[in-house]
Amino acid sequence: MPETTPTAPPTPITTDDVAKVAALARLSLTDDELEAFTGQLRSILEHARDVEALDLDDVPPTHHPYPLRNVFRADEVTPGVDRDEVLGEAPATEAGMFRVPPVLGEAP
Amino acid sequence: MTAREIASSVRAGDRSAVQILDEHLARIDAREGEIHAFNHVMADEARRSAEAVDATIAAGGDPGPLAGVVVAVKDNLCTRGVPTTCSSHILGQWRPPYDATVIQRLADAGATIVGKTNLDEFAMGSSTENSAFGATRNPVDTTRVPGGSSGGSAAAVAAGFASVSFGSDTGGSIRQPAALCGVVGVKPTFGRVSRYGLIAFASSLDQIGPFATDVADAALCIEVVAGHDRRDSTSIPEAFPPLGVELGRGVDGLRIGVVTELLGDGVEPEVAARTREAADSLAAAGATVEEVSVPATVFGLSAYYLIAPAEASSNLARFDGVRFGLREERSSMPETYDATRTAGFGAEVKRRIMLGTYALSAGYFDAYYGKAQKVRTTIIRDFESAYESYDALISPSSPCVAFRLGDKTADPMAMYRNDVSTVPSSLAGHPAMSVPFGSGADGLPVGIQVMAPALGEPMMFRVAAAIEEAAT
């Protein structure tokens, strides 16, 4: 993806950009979907450019409406969720674990 | 009958919880086919809990402040052993191994949970048309949408399927459907209600709140579920204040602002007229009412539609076909991820995941997400400045009355514009609620939004009660 600086308005999103973000997000798109999503995302991003009317240089970002503090508590054992109940809802399990297809290469 | 009347009659032993449940189930039988408020009606579980309430009464005990009250809950709240779908194919018929804190507190208060209500998939939408299981229809006019994303919860109360219901509000998903269905809907201050067991959409915005037929029932509901929960790290430690005392206090001497920017272009004339009449009624009741500019609110949509998708793209990474829900198994894990997410998510969810991924990606972060977070600061500052002069602010809850199914589905940006009045308070983390006030085009309900500063629920309910009194 092309690098942009905060001061230069980014170029409109292209089908190549959308294909890249779809791959990053683990989504497969047909050619028709790619076209349609690109047009829609372009119009949403175009609308979002109205904020360029604001002078935001000295404004700090808000990540969260309230300051988050770390919460400490005593390290006491309390009941957790039941393992069998959790695994009972999984697509595939084996020996008390989630079973998945090979992550790297062929299964032994 | 209000939830308050039902609870007091059940607690007094005048009526049984089972009787109350049967009346609601009969209304569901009669009209649910046409409305589709529910993804899942929990008739058996509801009967068991109603019987338990009646047994407690028979034994001389008190089941709690919602004794026998029939409650519907949005299908993004986890209910142990009962399918929880977010109206998405990707969760399949997943049955959570635990209850959300809100569900637990409702049960502890004696409520009868009657079912899981339909929503826009993962709460992304403003019409409930984005559900993988089909749209919900507005009980006031079934050719119209109920609003969204908590459209099923709003419709359930409007149709009498439940006395009260719960939804989640990320950018207006309680207030806008409340307005379109003619009921009361409340988004509390961010952190007031525990989100433990709420399936996350945008974590810096999501908040749970009630729908009810009147302001006092909404107050009762929020009192039951609000308050600190150690299982939600964003939960506010302060105790929730009692609201009942606020409802009869009136607005004499209060200063109330009508937000100029939220009455601008795009607001239907009759919606704007009702808002001004509501303002006049507050003035007649002794408040000082003036128009006030909160300038940055016009940039709310732009900030919201970058921040919420960015957070969603991260939260929805957990739906990968490994631990729960749908798996489209392929010969490798990477192919399984792709196939599962491609088959499991609907178009709006994919759109927001991609928008958020883009806004967070290298080279674009500063231009989009970073800028949106700065706009968020500007909106908070403008609100804080308005609240120096005003106790509460009002606006329309939605720029329009309920629109027809299909009217806005072709153009995402047109759908997003429905949220223009509600996103500013969401970005600020402030409480806001919608109160019915007369009708607009085609006799459809109009809702007035009452906004207050953080932790300002007592003031918000005081003003809402005065608007309700003027409307009736």
B363 band by pLDDT with thresholds 50, 70 and 90 = confident
Provide mean pLDDT across the span B81-88.
97
Three-state SS sequence of chain B: CCHHHHHHHHHCCCCCHHHHHHHHHHHHHHHHHHHCCEEEECHHHHHHHHHHHHHHHHCCCCCCCCCCCEEEEECCECECCECCCCCCHHHCCCCCCCCCHHHHHHHHCCCEEEEEECCCHHHCCCCCCCCCCCCCCECCECCECCCCCCHHHHHHHHCCCCCEEEEEECCCCCHHHHHHHCCEEEECCCCCECCCCECCCCCCCCEEEEEECCHHHHHHHHHHHECCCCCCCCCCCCCCCCCHHHCCCCCCCCEEEEEHHHHCCCCCHHHHHHHHHHHHHHHHCCCEEEEECCHHHHHHHHHHHHHHHHHHHHHHHHCCCCCCCCCCCCCCHHHHHHHHHHHHCCHHHHHHHHHHHHHHCCCCCHHHHHHHHHHHHHHHHHHHHHHHHCCEEEEECCCCCCCECCCCCCCHHHHHHHHCCCHHHHHHCCCEEEEEEEECHHHCEEEEEEECCCCCHHHHHHHHHHHHHHHC
Mean pLDDT taken over chain B? 97
Tens-place pLDDT, residues B49-71? 999 999 999 999 999 999 999 99
A5 band by pLDDT with thresholds 50, 70 and 90 = very low
Q: What is the distance in angstroms between the Cα of B333 and the nearest Cα belonging to chain A?
A: 5
Q: What is the distance in angstroms between the Cα of B296 and the nearest Cα belonging to chain A?
A: 9
Answer whether residue B326 shows pLDDT above 60. Answer: yes
- The pLDDT, as a whole number, for residue A107 is 53
Tens-place pLDDT, residues B151-187? 999 999 999 999 999 999 999 999 999 999 999 999 9
- The pLDDT, as a whole number, for residue A65 is 86
A64 band by pLDDT with thresholds 50, 70 and 90 = confident
Is B149 an active-site residue?
yes
For residue B204, give the nearest of A13, A60, A63 by CB distance: A63
For residue B377, give the nearest of A22, A37, A62 by CB distance: A62
- The pLDDT, as a whole number, for residue A8 is 55
Q: What is the distance in angstroms between the Cα of A37 and the nearest Cα belonging to chain B?
A: 7
- The pLDDT, as a whole number, for residue B200 is 97
Answer whether residue B225 shows pLDDT above 90. Answer: yes
Q: Cβ–Cβ of A91/B327 closer than 8 Å?
A: yes
Answer whether residue A4 shows pLDDT above 50. Answer: no
The pTM for the full model equals: 0.96
Tens-place pLDDT, residues B298-319? 999 999 999 999 999 999 999 9
B361 band by pLDDT with thresholds 50, 70 and 90 = very high
Answer whether residue A6 shows pLDDT above 70. Answer: no
- The pLDDT, as a whole number, for residue A10 is 73
Tens-place pLDDT, residues B271-300? 999 999 999 999 999 999 999 999 999 999
Q: What is the ipTM metric for this complex?
A: 0.93
Answer whether residue A67 shows pLDDT above 80. Answer: no
Is B74 an active-site residue?
yes
